[in-house]
Structure 1
Protein backbone atom coordinates (compact mmCIF):
# COMPACT_ATOMS: atom_id res chain seq x y z
CA UNK A 1 0.00 0.00 0.00
CA UNK A 2 1.03 3.61 -0.47
CA UNK A 3 0.74 6.83 1.50
CA UNK A 4 1.16 10.43 0.41
CA UNK A 5 2.62 12.85 2.96
CA UNK A 6 2.88 16.63 2.81
CA UNK A 7 4.31 17.95 6.09
CA UNK A 8 6.06 16.71 9.20
CA UNK A 9 6.28 13.13 7.84
CA UNK A 10 8.34 14.25 4.82
CA UNK A 11 12.06 13.54 4.60
CA UNK A 12 14.17 15.42 7.14
CA UNK A 13 11.11 16.79 8.95
CA UNK A 14 10.18 16.41 12.62
CA UNK A 15 8.12 13.24 12.28
CA UNK A 16 10.06 11.60 9.42
CA UNK A 17 11.22 8.89 11.85
CA UNK A 18 7.71 7.38 11.46
CA UNK A 19 8.66 6.66 7.85
CA UNK A 20 11.84 4.68 8.66
CA UNK A 21 10.47 1.43 7.21
CA UNK A 22 8.79 3.13 4.24
CA UNK A 23 10.09 3.08 0.67
CA UNK A 24 10.16 6.53 -0.95
CA UNK A 25 8.61 6.34 -4.42
CA UNK A 26 8.83 9.97 -5.47
CA UNK A 27 7.48 13.49 -5.25
CA UNK A 28 4.03 14.45 -6.47
CA UNK A 29 1.78 17.52 -6.69
CA UNK A 30 -1.87 16.90 -5.83
CA UNK A 31 -4.46 19.23 -7.31
CA UNK A 32 -7.69 20.23 -5.60
CA UNK A 33 -6.27 20.72 -2.10
CA UNK A 34 -5.09 23.61 0.06
CA UNK A 35 -2.32 23.49 2.67
CA UNK A 36 -2.64 25.24 6.05
CA UNK A 37 -0.25 25.76 8.94
CA UNK A 38 -1.64 24.35 12.18
CA UNK A 39 1.40 25.50 14.13
CA UNK A 40 4.19 22.91 14.17
CA UNK A 41 2.51 20.75 11.54
CA UNK A 42 0.19 21.24 8.54
CA UNK A 43 -3.20 20.10 7.37
CA UNK A 44 -4.71 19.83 3.92
CA UNK A 45 -8.32 20.35 2.98
CA UNK A 46 -10.07 20.05 -0.35
CA UNK A 47 -9.93 23.34 -2.22
CA UNK A 48 -8.58 25.25 -5.16
CA UNK A 49 -4.85 24.71 -4.79
CA UNK A 50 -2.02 22.29 -5.31
CA UNK A 51 0.04 20.62 -2.57
CA UNK A 52 3.58 19.26 -2.86
CA UNK A 53 3.84 15.75 -1.40
CA UNK A 54 6.00 12.65 -1.19
CA UNK A 55 4.66 9.19 -1.97
CA UNK A 56 5.82 6.11 -0.05
CA UNK A 57 5.16 2.39 -0.08
CA UNK A 58 4.36 1.25 3.48
CA UNK A 59 3.32 -1.91 5.27
CA UNK A 60 0.18 -2.44 7.34
CA UNK A 61 2.05 -1.93 10.62
CA UNK A 62 3.27 1.50 9.53
CA UNK A 63 -0.22 2.47 8.38
CA UNK A 64 -1.57 1.44 11.77
CA UNK A 65 1.01 3.60 13.55
CA UNK A 66 0.25 6.58 11.31
CA UNK A 67 -3.48 6.15 11.86
CA UNK A 68 -2.90 6.21 15.61
CA UNK A 69 -0.81 9.38 15.22
CA UNK A 70 -3.07 11.21 12.75
CA UNK A 71 -6.67 10.07 13.22
CA UNK A 72 -7.00 10.10 17.01
CA UNK A 73 -9.58 12.64 18.11
CA UNK A 74 -10.91 12.97 14.57
CA UNK A 75 -8.32 15.55 13.51
CA UNK A 76 -7.59 13.81 10.18
CA UNK A 77 -9.36 11.29 7.99
CA UNK A 78 -7.71 9.08 5.39
CA UNK A 79 -8.79 9.59 1.79
CA UNK A 80 -7.63 7.56 -1.22
CA UNK A 81 -6.09 9.69 -4.00
CA UNK A 82 -4.49 8.83 -7.32
CA UNK A 83 -0.76 9.37 -7.90
CA UNK A 84 1.63 8.38 -10.69
CA UNK A 85 2.71 5.55 -8.36
CA UNK A 86 -0.81 4.20 -7.89
CA UNK A 87 -3.52 5.05 -5.39
CA UNK A 88 -2.28 6.32 -2.02
CA UNK A 89 -3.78 7.29 1.32
CA UNK A 90 -3.82 11.01 2.14
CA UNK A 91 -4.62 12.41 5.59
CA UNK A 92 -7.17 15.21 5.13
CA UNK A 93 -7.72 17.70 7.96
CA UNK A 94 -11.25 17.52 9.40
CA UNK A 95 -11.46 20.66 11.54
CA UNK A 96 -12.01 24.30 10.65
CA UNK A 97 -9.09 26.24 9.18
CA UNK A 98 -10.67 29.59 10.06
CA UNK A 99 -7.92 31.86 11.36
CA UNK A 100 -5.18 29.50 10.14
CA UNK A 101 -2.54 30.67 7.67
CA UNK A 102 -2.80 29.16 4.21
CA UNK A 103 0.55 28.18 2.72
CA UNK A 104 0.05 29.56 -0.77
CA UNK A 105 3.05 27.71 -2.26
CA UNK A 106 1.47 24.40 -1.27
CA UNK A 107 4.87 23.27 0.02
CA UNK A 108 5.36 22.82 3.77
CA UNK A 109 9.13 23.20 3.34
CA UNK A 110 8.63 26.70 1.88
CA UNK A 111 6.19 27.85 4.56
CA UNK A 112 8.45 30.47 6.18
CA UNK A 113 7.88 31.09 9.86
Structure 2
Protein backbone atom coordinates (compact mmCIF):
# COMPACT_ATOMS: atom_id res chain seq x y z
CA UNK A 1 0.00 0.00 0.00
CA UNK A 2 0.99 3.62 -0.44
CA UNK A 3 0.74 6.71 1.73
CA UNK A 4 1.02 10.43 1.04
CA UNK A 5 2.86 12.48 3.66
CA UNK A 6 2.94 16.28 3.64
CA UNK A 7 4.38 17.45 6.95
CA UNK A 8 6.23 16.05 9.92
CA UNK A 9 6.45 12.60 8.28
CA UNK A 10 8.42 13.97 5.30
CA UNK A 11 12.14 13.37 4.97
CA UNK A 12 14.30 15.19 7.53
CA UNK A 13 11.25 16.23 9.57
CA UNK A 14 10.47 15.47 13.21
CA UNK A 15 8.40 12.32 12.61
CA UNK A 16 10.22 11.01 9.51
CA UNK A 17 11.39 8.01 11.56
CA UNK A 18 7.90 6.54 10.99
CA UNK A 19 8.84 6.19 7.31
CA UNK A 20 12.11 4.32 7.98
CA UNK A 21 10.69 1.00 6.78
CA UNK A 22 8.83 2.60 3.89
CA UNK A 23 10.03 2.88 0.31
CA UNK A 24 10.07 6.46 -1.00
CA UNK A 25 8.38 6.43 -4.42
CA UNK A 26 8.65 10.12 -5.25
CA UNK A 27 7.40 13.64 -4.71
CA UNK A 28 3.90 14.68 -5.68
CA UNK A 29 1.82 17.87 -5.68
CA UNK A 30 -1.85 17.40 -4.78
CA UNK A 31 -4.23 19.98 -6.24
CA UNK A 32 -7.50 20.89 -4.53
CA UNK A 33 -6.22 20.93 -0.94
CA UNK A 34 -5.00 23.59 1.48
CA UNK A 35 -2.23 23.26 4.07
CA UNK A 36 -2.54 24.79 7.56
CA UNK A 37 0.00 25.19 10.34
CA UNK A 38 -0.99 23.52 13.63
CA UNK A 39 2.34 24.28 15.29
CA UNK A 40 4.49 21.15 15.34
CA UNK A 41 2.68 19.55 12.43
CA UNK A 42 0.29 20.56 9.63
CA UNK A 43 -3.28 19.95 8.59
CA UNK A 44 -4.59 19.34 5.07
CA UNK A 45 -8.20 19.98 4.13
CA UNK A 46 -10.03 20.10 0.80
CA UNK A 47 -9.63 23.55 -0.71
CA UNK A 48 -8.44 25.45 -3.75
CA UNK A 49 -4.67 25.25 -3.31
CA UNK A 50 -1.95 22.68 -3.79
CA UNK A 51 0.12 20.72 -1.30
CA UNK A 52 3.62 19.34 -1.80
CA UNK A 53 3.93 15.74 -0.65
CA UNK A 54 6.01 12.60 -0.69
CA UNK A 55 4.58 9.20 -1.59
CA UNK A 56 5.81 6.03 0.11
CA UNK A 57 5.09 2.33 -0.11
CA UNK A 58 4.49 1.03 3.41
CA UNK A 59 3.38 -2.21 5.03
CA UNK A 60 0.14 -2.75 6.95
CA UNK A 61 1.97 -2.63 10.28
CA UNK A 62 3.26 0.90 9.58
CA UNK A 63 -0.19 1.99 8.41
CA UNK A 64 -1.67 0.68 11.66
CA UNK A 65 0.88 2.64 13.69
CA UNK A 66 0.17 5.81 11.70
CA UNK A 67 -3.57 5.32 12.15
CA UNK A 68 -3.04 5.11 15.92
CA UNK A 69 -0.98 8.29 15.77
CA UNK A 70 -3.29 10.29 13.48
CA UNK A 71 -6.87 9.00 13.68
CA UNK A 72 -7.33 7.84 17.27
CA UNK A 73 -8.49 11.23 18.57
CA UNK A 74 -10.60 11.94 15.49
CA UNK A 75 -8.25 14.72 14.44
CA UNK A 76 -7.68 13.17 10.99
CA UNK A 77 -9.36 10.66 8.74
CA UNK A 78 -7.65 8.58 6.10
CA UNK A 79 -8.80 9.01 2.46
CA UNK A 80 -7.62 7.50 -0.84
CA UNK A 81 -6.02 9.90 -3.34
CA UNK A 82 -4.86 9.17 -6.88
CA UNK A 83 -1.16 9.72 -7.56
CA UNK A 84 1.21 8.88 -10.44
CA UNK A 85 2.40 5.98 -8.23
CA UNK A 86 -1.10 4.54 -7.78
CA UNK A 87 -3.75 5.34 -5.20
CA UNK A 88 -2.39 6.30 -1.80
CA UNK A 89 -3.81 7.00 1.64
CA UNK A 90 -3.65 10.55 2.98
CA UNK A 91 -4.67 11.93 6.37
CA UNK A 92 -7.18 14.78 6.04
CA UNK A 93 -7.80 17.09 9.01
CA UNK A 94 -11.30 16.90 10.53
CA UNK A 95 -11.44 19.91 12.85
CA UNK A 96 -12.16 23.59 12.10
CA UNK A 97 -9.24 25.61 10.74
CA UNK A 98 -10.61 29.02 11.74
CA UNK A 99 -7.76 31.11 13.12
CA UNK A 100 -5.04 28.78 11.86
CA UNK A 101 -2.34 30.02 9.51
CA UNK A 102 -2.83 28.98 5.88
CA UNK A 103 0.49 28.07 4.27
CA UNK A 104 -0.03 29.53 0.81
CA UNK A 105 3.06 27.82 -0.62
CA UNK A 106 1.49 24.45 0.21
CA UNK A 107 4.92 23.27 1.35
CA UNK A 108 5.50 22.40 5.02
CA UNK A 109 9.25 22.70 4.47
CA UNK A 110 8.82 26.39 3.59
CA UNK A 111 6.55 27.26 6.56
CA UNK A 112 9.19 29.50 8.18
CA UNK A 113 9.44 31.60 5.02
CA UNK A 114 5.76 32.59 5.10
CA UNK A 115 4.18 35.47 7.07
TM normalised by structure 2 equals 0.97
Show the counterpart of 2:44: 44
| Structure 1 runs, 4 residues or longer, greater than 4 Å off | none
SS in 2 for 1:43: strand
For 1:45-89, what per-residue CA distance to the aligned partner results, in whole angstroms no more than 9, with x for missing partners?
A: 000000000000000000000000000110000000000000000
Show the counterpart of 2:57: 57
Matches within 5 A, 1:29-108: 29-108=29-108
* Greater strand share, structure number: 1
* C-alpha displacement of 1:109: 0.1
Please state if 1:23 is matched with 2:18.
Answer: no
- Where structure 2 has 5 or more consecutive residues not aligned to the other structure, the ranges are none
Show the counterpart of 1:111: 111
* C-alpha displacement of 1:10: 0.2
- Cα RMSD between the aligned structures? 0.7
Q: Distance in 2 between matches of 1:3 and 1:40?
A: 20
SS in 1 for 2:82: strand
Matched residue pairs, number?
Answer: 113
TM normalised by structure 1 equals 0.99
